[in-house]
Structure formats: C-alpha cells, structure tokens
Structure 1
Amino acid sequence: MKAVIQRVSKASVTIDKNKVADIKNGLLILIGIVDEDTQEDITWLSKKIVNLRIFNDENNVMNTSLLDSNGDAIVVSQFTLQASTKKGNRPSYIKAAKPEVAIPLYENFIFQVEKDLGKKIQTGQFGADMQVELLNDGPVTIIIDSKNKN
C-alpha cells in the first residue's frame, strides 16, 4: 500500500461539480492499493500517518502529528500510485488491485484512520473522476510504502 501524504492548509474533493470533501488544516492522503495488501499494511500505515510529526510546534519546528494537532484528513483512492514506468512512456497499472480487492481495503483503511485519529475523516469516492484541490503547506509531501517498513 502506497500513500502520498501532503500537509495542507486547505483541501477539497469535487465530483460532478459537487464538493464531497473539504478541510482546512490537516492532511490529504492519496492511497494506492495492490492485491498483496493486508490488514497489517492498513494498521501499520494508518498509525504511521496519524503519528507522523510533520506539523509545526510552538517553536515552528516540525514536531507535532496530525493526532496532536487535532487536524483533519481527506483520504482519496488513487490507483495511479501503483504505476510502473519501467518500459516505454505509457504507465502500466497491472500492479493496482482490482475494485473487488481494493474497495474493501480502502474502506478498512478509512475506518482504521478514523479509529487511530479518534474522529471522522472525509473521503473521495472510489473509482470516481475527482478534482482534488489543495494548498500544500510548506510544501510538505511524504511518500510511504507499507512494503518498505523494515
């Protein structure tokens, strides 16, 4: 499971001209899922993200987590994170999990983040054509792959 985490001062998701998610300070979390992902990946990744110390403390040092700062989050499924660009110029998405595998894992990830954060988060819609707007704060962008946790 791959995640791109962006610290934002605002972010939103729009589908068919309807805003379905809208936050101020927090994280925009893009998730790419593969068939081999498990609950272990979900649990590890969620805890890593909500405890990642990438928010400024009172001394303006990145030393505070999403959990500590009481920030909000938007989670968006993005199969293109699993693209392979080794051959040619057209990315291959063969590693990305099919919807019957990816949807339950995506939903479990959302549930786990809510549990670890202690509050409801906002989401995009799996498989939808979404417009994601954000104002990256910093900029701070972190990429985490649950397969590289050791």
Structure 2
Amino acid sequence: MIADGSIDILINIALNKCHDWDLGGTTLTLKNHAGTFDPWPIHQGGLRLDYILGFSKSNALWGGNPVRQQLCIVDSLWGSSRGGPTSIPDKQLDCLIIGTFSGAVDYLTVKKIREPLLGAPHGPVELFVKSFGYKERELKRMITVTL
C-alpha cells in the first residue's frame, strides 16, 4: 500500500540496534522499509547501503503533498551495540530521537547516542546525510533536548 501511494501519512518507528558494518553498523529508520520493498538485496554482498539509501529516497516514502513520511522516531529507551538486528537491546539509554528526515535522525542517533553511550563502532554513516545532498556540518545546528 505504501508503494502505490494510497498511504497519506507515514510514521517511521525504529529500535536502536546494530547491524552489519556495510549497512552503517545500524538498523534504524533508513533500513526500516527494507521489507516494504524487496529485502533480499540487503542480505547479499555488494552495495547494500546504496540499496537502502535508494529506497529511502523513493517516491513511495518522499512523494505526496505533503510528503508521506512525516515523522521518524528511534526508540532508544534501550539499545544494543552488538549481536545484529535480532539481538535483544541490553543497555538502558532512556532516549528518544525524533525528527522529520530519516537520514538526519539516523545520523544523530549514531553520533549522539550509539557512539558515546554504547561505544558502538559504525560504517559510513556520513552517507546517511550526504546521499540526500546534505553536509555533516549542517547537522551541527540541529537542536537536541535533554529531559
């Protein structure tokens, strides 16, 4: 239903988990729609992150007026730094990351939570924003709120 444009508003909710290095080391909002499209290419070698970035920029998610994907949330109440996407989160973080652009939400989750609080290593996460035409330095102006 997402691909045919019959969905008006899409809210993308992901858990804060790790994944393979060439997928950025994370499985957050950008990867969340692999099952909406064809999940098989991300389980094969090669350009797996490119595939995720490609469908994340598709008309099915970014199309519509207003744009369908209106909100992205990463549930970081708990998170995992190892064990892959099927792991059970094992570290209490007490954080939520919320935004309207999945690339920025995922990038900031890595830079503000996964690396400093989980000590998790990551792959080429700068592509989360660069592939959409943004620069990492532009995210320095993003507002973070601690409650």
TM-score past 0.5 threshold: no
By percentage of residues, which structure has more helix? Answer: 2
Higher RCO (Cα < 8 Å, 6 or more apart)? 1
By percentage of residues, which structure has more strand? Answer: 1
